Amino acid sequence: MLAFVADAHDADGPEALTRELLDRLTELFGCEYATYETHDWPRRVVTGYVTCSNEGAADDPPQQYPESYWVGSNSPHWMHGAFRKLSDVCSRRERERSRDTKEWNAEFRIVDKLGFRVGDRRTRSGLLHFDSQRRDFDERDRELALALRPHVEALWRKAASRRRLGELLAELERDGEPTPHAVVLLDPGGQIDQATAGAQRLLAEWFGVRDGRLPSELRDWLALARHGDRYTQRRNGSILTVESAGDSTLTLRTRTSVDAGLTPREREVLALVAEGLSNTEIAGRMWVAPSTVAKHLEQAYRKLGVRSRTAAVARLAKLPD
């Protein structure tokens, strides 16, 4: 097992385990089949499915499983707990009856199952399970599985990190903008793993988040979001856009709203500010009191979401005429 773990940690593919590694596990456990799956529970999606050589590619399941796979006491997704050995809960006669009547068991002639889950079933997880056609799994197999589980957990997290990095690089290459990106990488549990300085600033400004946690608004949206979906918020003439760039990556951007709601008088004041005039000079040019100029500026700042003359002028330059 130590040799297997060392070789598994040297792998750098998109999934924690390869077909070759699963073939070695079938020999280690003395069974016919070993299967590794990864799941996105909020979206009800199997995100990865790797089998040993005994189960051909044609036997791979569809990407979309029926709802019964994910819920219900009779779910065919038998591995509900963190660890399970089927022969602990069902007699050999019951398992043989199931083998002869249930479609998958009848095809593969399964009499016993053993498996364990890593990660979090409420969000994302990995599942490694073994199927035997002849013998029951015994205590030696149980101890072997329990010893293997922390290593598979580490492999699963390592693969998730590789996938997040790949998504990030793909997003940066796709966009090609010279300005720094505001990017958030999520851990398998759906919380913030890493965030750029720009992302941290936007999360603090728009959601008041400064503790490294994903805001509840984004968590709720992300539970149903698919690749490419966008979440938007509008405030003070600005728009925040959060895009799901993959299973574990979010990008954040802000832009000026097409219509900041400035009145013609407020635009006139800002145009004179852009010329470098003081409030007193603007008041003389417009034949109004300096306090009136100050009031126009105060209203314009609020609508543009800025706090200074320089920022207001910069924001105004991005508005349509």
- Taken in order of first residue, the domains within the chain and their CATH numbers are 2-163 (3.30.450.40), 179-256 (3.30.450.20), 264-317 (1.10.10.10)
Regarding pTM above 0.85, the answer is: no
pLDDT-based confidence at residue 257 (cuts at 50, 70, 90): low
Which of 17-31, 211-225, 234-248 is the least confident region?
234-248
Residues 6 or more apart whose CB falls under 8 angstroms from that of 252 comprise 182, 183, 184, 198, 199, 202, 203, 240, 241, 242, 243
Q: What percent of the chain has pLDDT over 90?
A: 30
pLDDT-based confidence at residue 58 (cuts at 50, 70, 90): very low
pLDDT in tens, 90-148: 898 888 887 777 655 667 788 899 999 998 877 888 999 999 998 999 999 999 999 99
Q: Report the distance separating Cα 78 and Cα 60, nearest Å.
A: 17
Of residues 255 and 134, the one with the higher pLDDT is 134
Overall average pLDDT of the 148-155 stretch? 92
Q: Which run of H or of E encompasses 169?
A: helix 139-175
pLDDT-based confidence at residue 178 (cuts at 50, 70, 90): very low
Report the largest interatomic distance among the alpha carbons of the chain, rounded to a whole angstrom.
98
Q: What percent of the chain has pLDDT over 70?
A: 82
Overall average pLDDT of the 173-180 stretch? 51
Mean pLDDT, rounded, of the chain: 82
Is-contact 125 117, C-beta < 8 A?
A: yes
Q: Which two tokens stand for residue 48?
A: 């990865």
Which of 234-238, 269-273, 306-310 is the least confident region?
234-238
192 residue type, one letter: I
**pLDDT score, position 237:** 67
Overall average pLDDT of the 270-286 stretch? 91
Query: Residue 255 forms beta bridges with which residues?
Result: 239
Of residues 315 and 222, the one with the higher pLDDT is 222
**pLDDT score, position 179:** 45
Beta-strand runs (E) in the chain: 33-40, 45-51, 83-85, 112-119, 124-132, 182-186, 192-195, 230-235, 238-246, 249-256
